[in-house]
A = this chain, B = another copy of it.
């Protein structure tokens, strides 16, 4: 299992900003070092947790370049190429290639009302344009389309995709993919859960790894889960996962009546990262709203309860 290039804990790095929403590259570099020190097995930049939907193209490019430079080959760097349709995604792919990413991560088309045959064509056209391994990113909460499991398996069988990052919340479908991968001999397909709440079960079921947003705050916890599962200690893994379930409630301190669930979660991650000294500035890109003082205090308390402060 460990021989696989893409395996283990690969956090989707939050993107630290300066006050003018340029990338705070110094914080990004420091954050990456905290992650590598914790033992993560890769990093994923420009995913949903990176505020990729908020970043202009220049900041996207700088983010990949900084990450690739800082990581310096110690682990793989995955780069999200998140845009609405094929030609626009293709431009991000070119950037990722030029910046030296090891793999790219691509969603189904969005904004447009799409179809499984068009999603299939989307991935195949992108594969024709790049030699980089492609991860299919299944994230219906953002793109409002669920990737069909047979589509995923057929793209894998044809070598179009090298991996799946499943943030769909459909655990039965995830399990079906793992089973079919085994039965159809699609070992080359790397399968990752995008949930921060089910990492131990996903790994126990045969997933190659996890891309946990909460790993920005507590990478050590996720590496521990990984190591416990791999060394055959499911109970320790579960205890650790349960601790992280409690920690995850930082994403709910800002109520739905006040701001979007995206801002509430990313704001909590960034606030906690700042409290832990990983980054200097917890500002989020507009139009997201900032957490208030009470909310920050509750996050601090939860970090303390989790032994992280």
Q: Residues on A close to B: CB < 8 A?
A: 21, 48, 53-57, 59, 82, 84-88, 90-91, 109-115, 117-122, 125, 141-144, 169-172, 175-176, 179, 195, 197-198, 201, 204-205, 234, 238, 242, 245-246, 256-263, 285-289
Contact = CB atoms under 8 A, between A and B. Distances in A.
Contact of A245 (B59, B142, B176, B198): B176
Q: This chain: how many copies in the complex?
A: 4
- Shortest beta-carbon contacts, A-B, top 8: A115-B260, A172-B197, A122-B287, A121-B287, A53-B84, A53-B111, A86-B286, A171-B171
A119 to B, nearest CB: 7
13 contacts: A53-B110, A85-B287, A112-B260, A112-B262, A112-B288, A115-B256, A117-B259, A120-B287, A125-B286, A172-B195, A179-B245, A201-B201, A201-B205
Given A21-B87, A56-B88, A197-B175, A113 B262 contact: yes
A114 B266 CA distance: 12
A117 B87 contact: no
B87 A56 contact: yes
B263 A115 contact: yes
B198 A287 contact: no
Nearest to A82: B111
A142 B113 CA distance: 7
